[in-house]
Amino acid sequence: LKTTSTLNRREPVEPAGRTANKINTFLLLVLHFVVVGICRQQISFVILSEHDYTMNFAGYPTFKGQVLNGDQLWDLIEGLEANNLLYYTHLLTGYIGSVSFLNTVLRVVNKLRSVNPGLTYVCDPVLGDEGKLYVAEELVSVYREKVVPIASMLTPNQFEAELLTKSRIVSEQDGREACNIIHAAGPSKVVITSINVEGELLLIGSHQKEKGQPPEQFRIPIPKIPAYFTGTGDLMTALLLGWSNKYPDNLGKAAELSVSSVQALLVRTVEDYTRAGHDCQSSSLEIRLIQSQDDIRNPEIKYRAEIR
Ligand code: ATP
Ligand code: MG
Ligand code: NA
Ligand code: MG
């Protein structure tokens, strides 16, 4: 926590293009604290991303460390197994850049489920944003055909939901239908973290409580802040995991709490950069996580799930 608070106090730096979207260890560690902060001792979980060994953020001028490959990941899993440490209630996956790592993640899910059949697998299918892929094209079909079917909850953005359902999403109705397609493939909970409809953001949530039954769906309108942020998708998925564990039968409430935390944090982030004389539209902003601890632990609900 000390390291992360230091990182968060850094002067704003220019991100190096789209690499700024890559998840990093710093963020993974913080997300660990986010989930633990919400759930206390109720859960045990693993977060996996291909950047587990990267010691800082790929958007900084310099970053060090290696990317963990699939074999190295499996090695760690074997080490845990040898010590009888493979019982987990939750698995969260974020950015994964290679088919080899993703295939190992599939093996890991099977392994963890053989130890705990009740494992909740929350998958953020990080593929791209705003019409642009930021992983190799070959990952898309692996996600669609192998990963999505075994996920418990999926948290795509608009573009990712389109890729995974082979559909176009330009309206709320399209978003709801994409959720139905995803339910049919496997996951009982889907949150499309945002779709852009006429300049405003709309979160679409969908919970299919019983297979074959119509899901309960809702939307949360979110006013768009004119800035780009790094880490919002990761934070959103971590919060959804945490609050869904607390409210397993109320995805709407979990999403209200998550959106309210994220928005409070984004407002603080913009204020902080503005105070430092930074033009918030000139580069992507690092979210102010540590300074927003109270908003993460105990958000004031300002955004409501609308059921229609
Ligand atoms: P990332 O690019 O970090 O992977 P994502 O594309 O996966 O994010 P988004 O849906 O873009 O996911 O963002 C996640 C959440 O962050 C949204 O639900 C929204 O609450 C918040 N958010 C992101 N950008 C903005 C913004 N400019 N204005 C308001 N809210 C935002
Ligand atoms: Mg986005
Ligand atoms: Na997302
Ligand atoms: Mg994302």
Predicted-complex ipTM score: 0.97
pTM of the model: 0.88
Going by alpha carbons, the residue nearest to atom 4 of ligand 1 is 233
Query: In which band, very low, low, confident or very high, does the pLDDT at 97 lie, cut at 50, 70 and 90?
Result: confident
Question: 63 C-alpha vs ligand 3 centroid, how far in Å?
Answer: 24
Nearest ligand to the C-alpha atom of residue 257: 1
Question: 160 C-alpha vs ligand 3 centroid, how far in Å?
Answer: 8
**Residues 6 or more apart in contact with residue 91 via CB below 8 angstroms:** 45, 46, 47, 48, 108, 109, 112, 119, 120, 121, 122
Distance CA 148, CA 82 (A): 29
Tell whether the model's pLDDT for residue 264 goes beyond 60: yes
Task: Decide if 234 is catalytic.
Answer: yes
pLDDT (0 to 100) of residue 196: 96
Higher pLDDT pick, 224 / 297: 224
Going by alpha carbons, the residue nearest to atom 2 of ligand 1 is 233
In testing the pocket of ligand 1, which one of 130, 133, 220, 232 has its CB within 8 Å of the most ligand atoms?
232
Cβ neighbours of 233 (radius 10 Å) = 23
Nearest ligand to the C-alpha atom of residue 236: 1
**pLDDT tens digits, 119-155:** 999 999 999 999 999 899 999 999 999 999 999 999 9
Distance CA 276, CA 8 (A): 14
Q: Is the CB of 29 under 6 A from ligand 1?
A: no
Q: Is the CB of 290 under 6 A from ligand 1?
A: no
**pLDDT tens digits, 190-202:** 999 999 999 899 9
CB 302 within 8 A of CB 20: no
Give the residue-averaged pLDDT of 77-95: 89
